[in-house]
Amino acid sequence: MRRTTSTRQGRQKESQHVGARTQQIIDAAARVFREKGYDGATLRDIAKEAGLLPGSLYYHIRSKEELLRLIVEQPIRDLHAQLEEIVASEASPVQKLAQALTAQLRAFDTHYPYLFVHIHNVLRVDTMHPDMQKRAKRYEEFWQQILSQGVKVGEFPPDLDVKVAAFAIIGMCNWMYRWYRRDGRLSIEEIIQQFSRLVLAGLGRQPRVDTFGFDGCLLG
């Protein structure tokens, strides 16, 4: 009995060690992909960043493609869970939109640099893992649902094209991968305030603006 217990404990410790080591490799891969790009990075680069010999890397992962999948899965799963909860909540559409923006932007900081790697390689990820395309579609639907709810209760303009508006918000948020730095001039909370002000003010009930000017008047 003692030997069985001892063996089980030994396996548990080994499993925990392997899990921690794998996470260390994933973290290293995210940093290397962020710095060198997916195509420019090699497994040797990743092993060096993780403090391992190149040959020992294959004990934990099978390929560079697998590392990319592991990098993008958890942040996307976490973000989707948050957005799904926000959409289903009893908050007003304006509150939901503010909460969704906060969740999306804060994810860039929480999952740095994982989300950067995902967005920079989104087409490659979708090709390698078709299920990610379904997740992307569901992600877009979360934003569209919030905007549709806002139009329905009169918090957003009645002529709002929710699909275009959702794409605009998503694009604005995702562009952070090009410029956000944790040690940048603004904190993530300050960036959230700026983005929220822009989006919520832009979706406020206001007279329709004519293409040629304001309220149908030509600009002169």
Q: What is the pLDDT of residue 119?
A: 84
Mean pLDDT of the chain: 82
Band (pLDDT 50/70/90 cuts) for residue 74 is confident
Dist. CA 146–CA 149, nearest whole Å: 5
Band (pLDDT 50/70/90 cuts) for residue 194 is very high
Region 59-78: mean pLDDT is: 86
Instruction: Calculate the dihedral angle through the C-alpha atoms of 96, 97, 100, 106, rounding to the nearest 10 degrees.
Output: -120
Q: Can you list the domains of the chain with their CATH numbers?
A: 1-61 (1.10.10.60), 65-202 (1.10.357.10)
Query: Between these two residues, 105 and 132, which has the higher pLDDT value?
Result: 105
What is the H or E stretch that residue 145 is in? helix 131-152
Region 36-41: mean pLDDT is: 90
Helix orientation angle between 131-152 and 93-110, rounded to the nearest 10 degrees: 150
Region 129-147: mean pLDDT is: 86
- Which amino acid type is present at position 179? W
- Which amino acid type is present at position 146? I
pLDDT single digits (tens) 143-170: 999 999 999 999 999 999 999 999 999 9
Neighbouring CB atoms inside 10 A of 141's CB total 16
Distances (CA, A) of 91 to 86, 136, 215: 8, 24, 32
